A and B are shown apart, each in its own frame.
Chain A
């Protein structure tokens, strides 16, 4: 390891430690949920078994199944019923709502995201990733979870970014083609993607999710076995950025990776269709923002 690389690793660890967040779902339960989402042979029985283990998740499941978003004709009274009605989608909903506790800051300095912007961007990235996963062998639930966590590293860089905002801004103004993650790396010593991966490494998620978070701005550099999921998260993030609903000071200052776009065979029509689909996928989650009982 060169001295430069050692310094970089130390910076990464320091940022990740400073912004340490707890997984909002018990790690063992989360691990089983993720394993099930990746298991094509799962059934309602297995999903219910996992969800029932945690009393909080059981209660959440009933609340989700009975929410206006799903509007089933009869009230859902058991976890088993909730799982049968929603299937894998129930697990995605549980994870998205629990992650709000971490990502849903009213304000994120530096990135200047307001009204839970980081969470609102992340649920869009997750929804786009789940849809894009069908173009690969990646399972939609894994793609969804990775998409949700892609930008978690911004929590660690928010304050340092605010402190050096004038320099960042000068660089953005000087170079219309620059990439925000490169700026982060140059000015703050690490970028939000690799810091995010470092933050979630302790959560014992599948390595594919950690790799996808680490490489979501340059998926071509991901190890070959994780390249497909990194490609998916990369394009999903671009689609969410393009919608713009919850963009911050980093705006659309990112570069797209041509090889990822070619690998997923993305066309303008696909991008436009995804933008529409994503907005309808997240509409019911957006409604939580104005619902104090949620």
Chain B
């Protein structure tokens, strides 16, 4: 299988697979109670029930939970909750236009696409520089105004003791800062670094941005 000639259909297959995975993510049951997620749910920041096959009631739209998988991105407008789980050294970047209530979130694993041209061609969302550029694009396309936009950066944890070898978290966070600056997005809040795994959510009903860590109380970035 490894010596197959480069296949031009590959990127499309990857896109389709990512789409299937996103759908699968959305169908996944809500995490059970008894954790910091329960606190989020109590405060109405997470829906109490997983989204059902939509019958289109206003309540369901309000609570629709869009799970952003690894190396993926999503947008929403006016209602719904964008959430991504388990950011280790990965980074979530959130863009929010509070006027139009357009939000976008990506979750990438590695900093720099130029380090791996082969993979970045088939999975651009895996790399910070390309993921954030695409995030800005879909955010604008969905109706977000870059001049009103607020950016938030979450994740980038690191293991200790080995300097650069396991400091992908630090490099991921730097790439977020540099890329957002280059695209002229203002970083209004962040929680990056240290050694904890995080879950980040943006509730478009309220504009709340919350970071949760297993075993700790959730924090509000906005």
Q: Which residues of A contact B (CB under 8 A)?
A: 106-107, 109, 111-115, 117, 165, 169, 176-177, 238, 241-249, 251-256, 258, 261, 266-269, 271-273, 275-276, 279, 283, 286-287, 289-290
Q: A256: which of B89, B162, B169 is its contact (CB, 8 Å)?
A: B162
CB neighbours of A255 from chain B (8 A): 159-161
> Which residue on chain B has the smallest CB distance to residue A270?
B165
CB neighbours of A256 from chain B (8 A): 159-162, 165-166
The docked-state distance in angstroms from the alpha carbon of A251 to that of B183 is 32
CB neighbours of B162 from chain A (8 A): 256, 258, 261
Quote the shortest CB–CB distance from A232 to chain B (angstroms): 16
Most A Cβ at <10 Å: residue of B17, B36, B37, B195? B195
Residue B24 CB within 8 A of the other chain: yes
Interface residue tally for chain B (C-beta within 8 Å) = 49
CB neighbours of A176 from chain B (8 A): 160, 194-195
Those 4 A-B pairs whose CB atoms lie nearest each other, nearest first:
A244-B88, A247-B197, A112-B214, A249-B215
Given the interface contacts A109-B34, A258-B161, does A272 sit within 8 Å of B115 by beta carbon?
yes
Q: List 15 A-B contacts (CB under 8 A).
A: A241-B159, A242-B89, A243-B70, A243-B90, A244-B86, A245-B70, A245-B86, A249-B215, A255-B160, A256-B160, A271-B166, A271-B168, A273-B116, A275-B168, A276-B116
CB pair A251–B24 under 8 Å, yes or no, is no
Quote the shortest CB–CB distance from A162 to chain B (angstroms): 9
Quote the shortest CB–CB distance from B115 to chain A (angstroms): 7
Chain B, range 83-114, C-beta contacts under 8 Å to A? 85-90, 109-110
CB neighbours of B143 from chain A (8 A): none
CB neighbours of B27 from chain A (8 A): 290
Q: B88: which of A169, A247, A261, A273 is its contact (CB, 8 Å)?
A: A247
The docked-state distance in angstroms from the alpha carbon of A275 to that of B123 is 13
CB neighbours of B213 from chain A (8 A): 249, 251
CB neighbours of B88 from chain A (8 A): 241-245, 247, 251-252
Known contacts A243-B90, A247-B88, A272-B116; 14 further A-B pairs (Cβ under 8 A): A106-B32, A107-B35, A245-B86, A248-B214, A249-B213, A249-B214, A252-B195, A271-B165, A272-B115, A279-B70, A279-B71, A287-B20, A289-B28, A290-B28
CB pair B197–A244 under 8 Å, yes or no, is yes
The docked-state distance in angstroms from the alpha carbon of A107 to that of B36 is 12
Contact with A along B13-46 (1 / 0, CB 8 A): 0000100110011011101101111000000000
Quote the shortest CB–CB distance from A279 to chain B (angstroms): 6
Quote the shortest CB–CB distance from A291 to chain B (angstroms): 8
The docked-state distance in angstroms from the alpha carbon of A241 to that of B37 is 20
Quote the shortest CB–CB distance from A127 to chain B (angstroms): 14
Contact with A along B144-176 (1 / 0, CB 8 A): 000000000001011111101110110000000
Q: Which residues of B contact A (CB under 8 A)?
A: 17, 20-21, 24-25, 27-29, 31-32, 34-37, 70-71, 85-90, 109-110, 115-116, 119, 123, 126, 155, 157-162, 164-166, 168-169, 194-197, 213-216
Given the interface contacts A114-B35, A251-B213, A289-B24, does A177 sit within 8 Å of B160 by beta carbon?
yes
Given the interface contacts A112-B215, A245-B70, does A283 sit within 8 Å of B34 by beta carbon?
no
Quote the shortest CB–CB distance from B133 to chain A (angstroms): 19
Q: B86: which of A238, A247, A275 is its contact (CB, 8 Å)?
A: A247
CB pair B86–A246 under 8 Å, yes or no, is yes
CB pair B119–A276 under 8 Å, yes or no, is yes
CB neighbours of A267 from chain B (8 A): 165
The docked-state distance in angstroms from the alpha carbon of A107 to that of B87 is 18
